[in-house]
Amino acid sequence: MTGKTLRALMGASAMTALAAPVMAETLTIATVNNGDMIRMQQMTAPFTEANPDIELEWVTLEENILRERVTTDIATNGGQYDVLTIGTYEVPIWAKQDWLAPLEMPAEYDVDDLLPAVREALSVDGTLYAAPFYGESAMVMYRTDLVEAAGVEMPDSPTWDDIKAAAEAMTDKDAEIYGICLRGKPGWGENMAMLTAMANSYGARWFDTDWQPQFDSEEWKTALTDYLDLMNNYGPPGASSNGFNENLSLFQQGKCGMWIDATVAASFVTDPDDSTVADSVGFAQFPNKDGVDNHGNWLWAWSLAIPASSQQQDAAKKFVAWATGKEYTAAVAEAEGWRAAPPGTRTSLYENAEYQEAAPFAEMTLKSMNAANTQKSSVQDIPYTGGQFVAIPEFQGIGTAVGQTFSAALAGQMSADDALNAAQSNVTREMTRAGYIK
């Protein structure tokens, strides 16, 4: 082969190499099947256009299944996912296990703009381990037209007695209008989020300072009995199968007089494209029990985190910074209006006059989030932190087990007393086995 021929072949090879496309990295993103996350999937074009070397693959799951799968994967170092959708419960526990990659965000991300309570909940020793996509507390969403027609009032800060009176007055089962919709689907993050918050507002606690379960207390008995009475008398049929999404659909269809749930739902129930009652929705704080100064507000942030097992951490950090940054919020506002912007994460959103005007729920959302005290969720002394959950690794198992028992009580399969006795026995056994009870 002559030198001239060799040079020609080498030149051709170089041109071929230059023409070959760069191999794209594929990020596998595990997320929950709620409206905000589905919207995010539909709005990723600006990110992929700006990052042609990154492809996105979505695994969208129902809440309980998502938790089960990502927990199993990260605990076994499975490496199936590059970005996880997790909450304020998992972040501190998993970070301390070195299961999550720390997030060092670029300056333009403006970490200091994150709401202090949310940033603190997603950090360990001052290091951020997850970025909040949206944050929430819990509040009352109610039909202003039905409240008016029933001749009752809904205070900005109602008691559970106010809730019961309104539920009774608005219920018209013949017209398929139910005075109240609450979560009944079993799961530590489903019905137990609601019931733990409700129990907190009644003065109850999961454990005393010696980690002894407290389901045999008068506070828990009163809270669960009132919950069952509300749902059996004024709730929809089949409520033991209803979680967040099912109740959202019922409310949007005009079948719920009240719905007490996550503040993030406010943008969906006031969306005229999806909600038949969008123009007649009012908002109030999570109820408290007469004589107990504790609204029981929860604090949660569905957040994006990167497992330490991911082989594409740099690309994953780019995506997380984009999806939870100000640029994405502005893009949602431009496409769907400020009312649809992901709430509960940034101070700047609540200082935005356009958002305040477009979102009638903004003030109540911020008030509810600021009222949450995850460091002391009960008026009694407790050895744990967390609002609608107990921040220990065992809570996923015991919380779901108790949720199944209470859901069975709602379905009429056992009494409140039997459900509480079963919860007390089961949790005592598991906490003893885990070494909390000596």
369 in a domain, yes or no? no
Contact 271, 264 (CB under 8 A): no
Residues 41, 106: one domain? yes
Q: What pLDDT, in 10s, does the model give residues 111-161?
A: 999 998 899 999 999 999 999 999 999 999 999 999 999 999 999 999 999
Residues 277, 307: one domain? no
438 in a domain, yes or no? no
Residues 91, 116: one domain? yes
Amino acid identity at 95: A
Residues 309, 274: one domain? no
Q: How far is CA 401 from CA 296, 319, 396, 420, in A?
A: 22, 35, 9, 12
**Predicted pLDDT of residue 9:** 42
For residue 192, give every residue at least 6 positions away whose Cβ sits within 8 Å of its Cβ, in sequence order, or none.
186, 388, 389, 399, 400, 402, 403, 406
125 in a domain, yes or no? yes
Q: What range defines the domain where residue 175 resides?
A: 139-296+380-433
| Percent helix, percent strand, percent coil in the chain, to nearest 5 | 50, 15, 35
Q: What pLDDT, in 10s, does the model give residues 317-327?
A: 999 999 999 99
Dist. CA 137–CA 371, nearest whole Å: 9
- Rounded to the nearest angstrom, the gap between the alpha carbon of residue 154 and the centroid of all alpha carbons in its chain is 25
- Given a cut of 80, whether residue 109 has pLDDT beyond it is yes
Mean pLDDT over 27-39 rounds to: 93
Left if phi > 0, otherwise alpha if psi is -120 to 50, otherwise beta: which for 79?
A: left
How large a percentage of the chain has pLDDT more than 70?
95
How many domains, the chain? Answer: 2
Strand partners, 256: 178
423 in a domain, yes or no? yes
Q: What DSSP string runs through 152-179? A: ----SS-BHHHHHHHHHHH-BGGGTBBS
Residues 165, 265: one domain? yes
Residues 286, 413: one domain? yes
Q: What is the CATH number of the domain that holds 124?
A: 3.40.190.10
Residues 339, 227: one domain? no
**Pairing between β-strand 127-128 and β-strand 138-143 as defined by DSSP bridges:** unpaired
Phi, psi of 58, deg, nearest 5:
-105, 140
Residues 303, 288: one domain? no
367 in a domain, yes or no? no
Residues 262, 311: one domain? no
Residues 111, 254: one domain? no
371 in a domain, yes or no? no
Left if phi > 0, otherwise alpha if psi is -120 to 50, otherwise beta: which for 412?
A: left
- Given a cut of 80, whether residue 217 has pLDDT beyond it is yes
Dist. CA 106–CA 112, nearest whole Å: 12
- Given a cut of 70, whether residue 18 has pLDDT beyond it is no
Q: CA-based angle 421:200:141, to the nearest 5?
A: 115
Phi, psi of 303, deg, nearest 5:
-130, 160
Q: What pLDDT, in 10s, does the model give residues 380-404?
A: 999 998 999 999 999 999 999 999 9
> Among 108, 172, 120, which residue's Cα sits nearest to residue 145?
172
Residues 99, 160: one domain? no
267 in a domain, yes or no? yes
Residue 42: count other Cβ atoms within 10 Å of its Cβ: 8
**Predicted pLDDT of residue 12:** 45
Q: What pLDDT, in 10s, does the model give residues 332-343?
A: 999 999 999 999
Residues 339, 406: one domain? no
6 in a domain, yes or no? no
Residue finishing a domain among 325, 358, 391: 358
